[in-house]
Amino acid sequence: MNLILQILFSFLKIGAFSFGGGYAVVSFIQKEIIQGKGWLDTKEFIDIVAVAEMTPGPIAVNSSTYVGYKVAGFWGSLIGTVGVLLVPTILALIVSIYFNKFKHLSWVKWILKGIRPAVLGIIAAACYTIGKVSFTDYKSIIIGVLVFLGVYKLKINPILAIVISGGLGLILYGII
């Protein structure tokens, strides 16, 4: 029961304080799950991010479900998922009720202008951390650069880019 409560509180914290969603949450999950609790190592975490990116749903939900399951089975995955969703759902409901009333106010616009670059900084920190573990040799750098160029310049669908990356990994690491 103590472990289930630890999972709940960890993912409540992640859900409550991971503003920006998407990759902004990756850095926070990493600090809580790897450094704070030691439930995963960095390599496992990178694998989770890769799998979470390939499966439908937000990365925070997919990660909480996986980590919860790994640590405490079915109930851990259920509690982790509920924990990561509870606070943002309540906040989204509150914001949806009041945002239209206040979005025109200059102080609300100033706050949002300050939050945007902070979220980018959080995402950049997560990218740096993931990059240190992911770019292990010239092959991984080639795959990373090709996917970046494909998604950024050629506007390839990210899901297709992930599938292509898997194929490149099979070719570069398995066959060659």
10-residue stretch averages of pLDDT, the chain, 176 residues long? 92 81 74 88 82 77 90 94 92 86 88 87 81 86 93 92 90 82
Q: Are 10 and 32 in contact (CB under 8 A)?
A: yes
C-alpha span between 71 and 64 (Å, rounded): 10
pLDDT for the residue 49: 79
Cα-Cα-Cα-Cα dihedral of 7, 11, 13, 18, to 10°?
160
Average pLDDT along the chain: 87
65: closest CA among 119, 14, 125, 129?
A: 14
Q: Are 46 and 136 in contact (CB under 8 A)?
A: no
Q: Are 59 and 53 in contact (CB under 8 A)?
A: yes
| Overall pTM surpassing 0.75 (yes/no) | no
pLDDT for the residue 26: 78
Does residue 52 sit in helix, strand or coil?
A: helix
Residue position matching structure tokens 């292990």: 136
pLDDT for the residue 43: 83
* pLDDT tens readout for residues 95-132: 888 888 888 899 988 998 998 898 888 778 878 877 88
